[in-house]
């Protein structure tokens, strides 16, 4: 059992769960033969439940295409196969205020699997569109601010907004931050100075570090350099072997201890037999594990968080306890949910990701509800 927070594992532990809450953690030899509790489910590894801050689709559906609770249910089910317990469905750049449909869908969701929503765009830089439809990228206006602030004030969950800070009025950043919206820089050509100024106004993170952002040059750190060195900033990173070189994964993990989390950036192909889909007018195909448009532009990822953990351990050379924390504890901290998730402790909700020795998902529990088997005590 990995208790979380980067702590070393505790061997042969029994976790007892009642009414969705962890009520006891004890050595396995403390379970007496005459104990009449439900049968123990055995797993090689039990970790705090994975939290994905960036998931665009899964199970054959794309959140942008049909932003409703039926789509969310399919995404939740498919994401569990990669170890995800909790997620922020991510709505990417679309025309006008189409993003309001995503806000409404998440607000209508009833369950702990979705503690918030992530809007990635449309307030991005047209110089760094990535796979986002360039024609729908635009500047934020007063109407957008009013919509986002009203939603944040009425919504019990979290709203994460990815934007290009150099394209947003500084006063708007301050207003959004004051409303409790989590502000990340992404698809941004910002200079280091622009990122520093935005951080003073509430910017606190970077979306998919190293991808679709300004890089380190001799005379400017860019978005990437600021994320690595400014302790006010956290970041998500896509560890799929396609988006970021393993050396850069290792560099980020070394420089951003406690500030770097794993995200999937997963698309509809994950958890389904789908081999291609469209973003706007562009078709994206799955080719040897890589999602790409016809010109080679990356179009999200085909990735479970368990695979991202394996990549960080095998290719970036970080410890398993640190990699697991990047999938659970750090995103919990980013969302301000560190008192509920990211640790395995008595009194907390039983949100657990259970893995085998190869770090493949065997089952997940979300507030005590198990996917992948029957309930009861769990042991590792």
Give the rounded distance of the alpha carbon of 346 from its chain centre: 25
Closest CA to 50 of 244, 370, 304, 236: 304
| CATH number for region 50-341 | 3.20.20.140
Select from 326, 165, 187, 182 the least CA-distant residue to 252: 326
Long-range contact pairs involving 371-376 (C-beta distance under 8 Å, separation at least 24): 371/77, 371/80, 372/80, 373/41, 374/38, 374/39, 374/41, 375/17, 375/38, 376/17, 376/37, 376/38, 376/39, 376/40, 376/41
Cite the residue boundaries of each domain of the chain with CATH code 3.20.20.140.
Answer: 50-341
The distance between the two most distant Cα atoms of the chain, rounded to a whole number of Å, is 70
Decide if pLDDT at 46 tops 80: yes
Confidence of residue 29 (pLDDT cuts 50, 70, 90): confident
Q: What is the pLDDT of residues 115-165, one digit of tens each?
A: 999 999 999 999 999 999 999 999 999 999 999 999 999 999 999 999 999
At residue 40, the pLDDT reads: 78
d(CA 225, CA 191): 10
Give the Cα separation of 101 and 124 in Å (integer): 19
Is the pTM here over 0.85, yes or no?
yes
Closest among 223, 239, 128 to 185, alpha carbons compared: 223
What integer pLDDT is reported at residue 374 of this predicted model?
41
Q: What is the CA radius of gyration of the chain?
A: 20
**Confidence bin at 212 (pLDDT 50/70/90):** very high
What average pLDDT does range 301-312 have in this prediction? 98
Average pLDDT (190-206) is 98
The reported pLDDT for the residue numbered 105 is: 98
Six token digits for residue 261: 């989390």
Average of per-residue pLDDT across 303-317? 98
For 235-280, the pLDDT digits (tens) are 999 999 999 999 999 999 999 999 999 999 999 999 999 999 999 9
What are the beta bridge partners of residue 86? 51
Confirm if 245 and 34 have CB atoms less than 8 A apart: no
Between 38 and 230, the higher pLDDT residue: 230
Positions marked active-site? 265
Residues of the chain above pLDDT 70, percent: 95
* 176 pLDDT above the threshold of 60: yes
Chain position carrying tokens 């796979």: 131
pLDDT at 372 over 60: no
Banded pLDDT at 373 (limits 50, 70, 90): very low
Residue 286 phi/psi, 5-degree rounding, is -90, 115
pLDDT digits (tens, 9 = 90+) for 8-27: 999 999 999 999 999 999 99
Average pLDDT over residues 31-37: 53
pLDDT at 366 over 70: yes
- Give DSSP secondary structure letters for 138-151: ----HHHHHHHHHH
Between 28 and 131, the more confident residue is 131
Q: Are 354 and 364 in contact (CB under 8 A)?
A: yes
Q: Which residues contact 150 (CB under 8 A, 6 or more apart)?
A: none
């Amino acid at each position: 059992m990995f208790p979380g927070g980067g702590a070393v594992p505790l061997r042969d532990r029994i976790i007892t769960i009642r009414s969705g809450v962890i009520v006891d953690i004890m050595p396995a030899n403390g379970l007496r033969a005459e104990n009449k509790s439900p049968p123990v489910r055995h797993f090689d590894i039990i970790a705090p439940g994975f939290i994905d801050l960036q998931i665009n689709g899964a199970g054959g559906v794309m959140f942008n295409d049909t932003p409703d609770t039926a789509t969310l249910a399919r995404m939740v089910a498919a994401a569990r196969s990669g170890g995800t317990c909790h997620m922020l469905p991510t709505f990417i750049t679309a025309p006008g205020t189409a993003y309001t449909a995503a806000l409404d869908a998440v607000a209508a969701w009833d369950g702990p699997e979705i503690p918030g929503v992530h809007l990635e765009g449309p307030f991005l830089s047209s110089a760094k569109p990535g796979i986002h439809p360039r024609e729908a990228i635009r500047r934020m206006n007063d109407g957008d601010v009013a919509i986002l602030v009203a939603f944040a004030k009425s919504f019990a969950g979290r709203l994460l907004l990815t934007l290009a800070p150099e394209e947003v009025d500084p006063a708007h950043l301050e207003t959004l931050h004051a409303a409790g919206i989590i502000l990340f820089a992404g698809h941004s050509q910002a200079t280091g100075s622009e990122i520093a100024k935005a951080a003073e106004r509430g910017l606190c993170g970077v979306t998919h570090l190293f991808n679709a952002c300004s890089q380190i040059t001799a005379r400017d750190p860019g978005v990437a350099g600021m994320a690595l060195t400014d302790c006010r900033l956290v970041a998500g990173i896509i560890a799929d072997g396609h988006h970021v070189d393993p050396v850069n994964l290792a560099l980020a993990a070394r420089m951003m201890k406690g500030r770097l989390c794993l995200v999937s950036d997963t698309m509809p192909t994950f958890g389904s037999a789908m081999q291609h889909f469209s973003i706007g007018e562009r078709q994206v195909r799955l080719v040897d594990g890589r999602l790409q448009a016809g010109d080679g532009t990356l179009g999200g990822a085909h990735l479970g968080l368990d695979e991202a953990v394996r990549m960080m351990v095998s290719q970036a050379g970080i410890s398993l306890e640190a990699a697991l924390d990047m999938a659970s504890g750090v995103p919990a901290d980013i969302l301000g949910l560190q008192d509920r998730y990211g640790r395995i402790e008595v009194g907390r909700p039983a949100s657990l990701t259970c893995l085998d020795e190869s770090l493949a998902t065997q089952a997940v529990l979300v507030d005590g509800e198990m996917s992948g088997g029957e309930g009861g005590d769990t042991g590792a």
